[in-house]
Structure 1
Amino acid sequence: MLKVILSVLLLALITTLVGYQQLQATINSPLNITTPTQFEVEKGTGFNKLCKQWQAKGWLNSCWRYQVVAKLDPTLTDLKAGLYELTNTSVINNIKKINNGEQLSFSFTIIEGQNLREVIAAIANAPQLNNNLNTEQLAQQIRGEDTHLEGWLFPDTYHYHSNDTATSLLKRAAEKMQQTLAQAWQQRDKNVPYKNAYEALIMASIIEKETGLASERPLIAAVFVNRLNANMRLQTDPTVIYGLGEGFDGDIKRKDLRDYTPYNTYRIKGLPPTPIAMPSKAAILAALNPPKTEYVYFVAKGDGSHQFSTTLKQHNAAVKTYILNKTN
């Protein structure tokens, strides 16, 4: 009898060891792929369906062993829909990646100084992004207001997952701009000549487009603020270019400066009706807290920097030096 009991115990022990080894082999068995591979888990996919999909692709030999493991660890059956990058690590590790919702992440960058047309064109080429934008009612779709969306998208890099919508991404950008502008408006110099925060956003967009060197944003802001205070026209080329829209061929002509558009600041006084680009936080801060200077002119030197002047005589001399290549 003792021998029978010992035999049974030995058999049980051997069976347990074999089972444990098989379990370990299953847990450590790699997914049969050679390179990282994208795989989409559709909504409603269950553990057994996932296993059969991978088996059909030849990524694993059979499902029953993994079904046993899932019985021992039910958390493995909690699959989250999305696009994942699978690797040749263990099958179980890849399943846990899906359990944890570690989806592939994509990014979209709104660049400082881009205008709305450029942002929308870039959105159309963003990978794995559901472009559900209504170009006829963008402002209403993104901000819930019947205004112009230009200037309201904060320049930054935004991360998203497969099949996220363009509206959800741009809403995040709009909310960040709203928060940034509201905070900066509260900290503004009380003497700046803007009726509201939106006018500051318009000015910030002009500063952004005029700035070649980040360090010059405050001085450029000071020039434009001084011009507004002196009831001088802003006379800034970027607003003219924006007003020309897709008709701009890369060269501003005399005719363009003479023609009246709401954005031709050589013809109108004050600010144009909307921003002309997406301004950075630095441009917003410069617009709302410009340094105290007497500069009312500046001209590009050709290296990204500008020559600032307080009188027309000084400005004309700078134009001769840096634009007409003439010196006295």
Structure 2
Amino acid sequence: MVKVIVSVLLLALLTCGIGYQQLQTTLHNKLAVPEETFFKVTKGTGFNQLCQQWQAKKWLDNCWRYQILAKLDPTLTDLKTGLYQLNNVSVIDNIRRINQGKQVSFSFTIIEGQSLREVLAAIMKADYLNQDLHLAKLAMQVTGGTKNNLEGWLFPDTYHYHSDDTASSVLKRAYQKMQRELDIAWQQRAENIYLNSAYEALILASIIEKETGVASERPLISSVFSNRLKSNMRLQTDPTVIYGIGADFDGDIKRKDLTTYTPYNTYRIKGLPPTPIAMPSQAALLAAVNPPPSDYVYFVAKGDGSHQFSKTLSEHNAAVRRYQLNKSN
């Protein structure tokens, strides 16, 4: 009788030992995938189906051991849909990543000074993004019908998204962020500012953004435009002319471009153009609503990204000769 009991105990211990060994093997078996392999878990995919898909790809040798483990730990069967990056770590670690919904994250960046046309061209090439944009209804899609034109309304930043997120949802987040940033800037506006609305501030900020080559010059550029608006002078800024030309602009602004009327040609119109011309940064928004006091009404590019600021036309003409025509005074 004692021998029988001992034999049973030994068998039990052996079975436990083998079971423990199998458990450890199951827990530490690596998924045989190349590094950074993408795998999509579709809606309705079950645990057994997932294992079979991986086995068919020869990423694991069999499913039964993982099916047994899932019986012991039912949380393993909670698979969240999405696109996942699988690595050559344990099968269980990869399954846990799916349990926790740690999908691959992609990003789309709106750059300061980009026009709406440039933003749309870029987002239509974004990887793993559902291209749901209907250009005829674009503003309504993104703003819920509150805007007719998205120009200037998308805040420059990097926006993260997951596979199958929509392009319109990314742009909607950019729009909502610009709304918040513009509201904050407008609340901080100077008392004597020569702007009638937050939208005018957005328009001016977009022009400042396009004129800025050196970030520290944004306030002075804003000051020049503010002084011109107060003095009823035309803004006479090339970026608005270029925007008015649109896709036909060949990279070289000509004299006839400055004299041809468009609603954006600030050599021909007084005041601000009808809409923004680009996506302004937070710094440009703040510069637009807080121009520092100055007597500057002119500036000219030096050729290195910076500008020479002038108070009188004679000073400006001398700066043009020096920096644009390469002539001395």
Q: TM-score range by the shorter chain?
A: over 0.9
Helix, strand or coil: the match of 2:136? coil
1:179 counterpart letter in structure 2: R
Give TM-score scaled by structure 2 length. 0.99
Identity of aligned residues (%): 71
2:58 counterpart letter in structure 1: G
- Is there any run of 5+ residues in structure 1 with no aligned partner, and where? none
| Distance in 1 between residues matched to 2:271 and 2:290, nearest whole Å | 18
Match of 2:204 in 1: 203
Deviation at 1:36, TM superposition (A): 2.4
Instruction: Spell out the pairing of 1:181-196 with structure 2 (5 A cutoff).
Output: 181-196=182-197
Match of 1:281 in 2: 282
| Distance in 1 between residues matched to 2:130 and 2:26, nearest whole Å | 38
Helix, strand or coil: the match of 1:129? coil
Tell me how many residue pairs correspond in the alignment: 328
2:210 counterpart letter in structure 1: K
Match of 1:160 in 2: 161
Helix, strand or coil: the match of 1:98? helix
| Distance in 1 between residues matched to 2:201 and 2:137, nearest whole Å | 24
Helix, strand or coil: the match of 2:309? strand
| Distance in 1 between residues matched to 2:231 and 2:148, nearest whole Å | 29
Match of 1:299 in 2: 300
Instruction: Spell out the pairing of 1:164-313 with structure 2 (5 A cutoff).
Output: 164-313=165-314
Instruction: Spell out the pairing of 1:55-204 with structure 2 (5 A cutoff).
Output: 55-144=55-144, 145-204=146-205
| Distance in 2 between residues matched to 1:35 and 1:80, nearest whole Å | 21
Deviation at 1:32, TM superposition (A): 1.3
| Distance in 2 between residues matched to 1:134 and 1:110, nearest whole Å | 19
1:200 counterpart letter in structure 2: A
Helix, strand or coil: the match of 2:135? coil
Deviation at 1:34, TM superposition (A): 3.4
Match of 1:45 in 2: 45
| Distance in 2 between residues matched to 1:100 and 1:190, nearest whole Å | 51
- CA shift digits 1:135-160 (9 cap, x unpaired): 11211111122421000000001111
RMSD: 0.7
- CA shift digits 1:214-266 (9 cap, x unpaired): 00000000000000000000000000000000011111111111111100000
Helix, strand or coil: the match of 1:150? coil
| Distance in 2 between residues matched to 1:132 and 1:140, nearest whole Å | 13
| Distance in 1 between residues matched to 2:302 and 2:33, nearest whole Å | 57
- Is there any run of 5+ residues in structure 2 with no aligned partner, and where? none
Q: Which moved more, 1:152-161 or 1:33-42?
A: 33-42
| Distance in 1 between residues matched to 2:140 and 2:31, nearest whole Å | 47
2:92 counterpart letter in structure 1: I
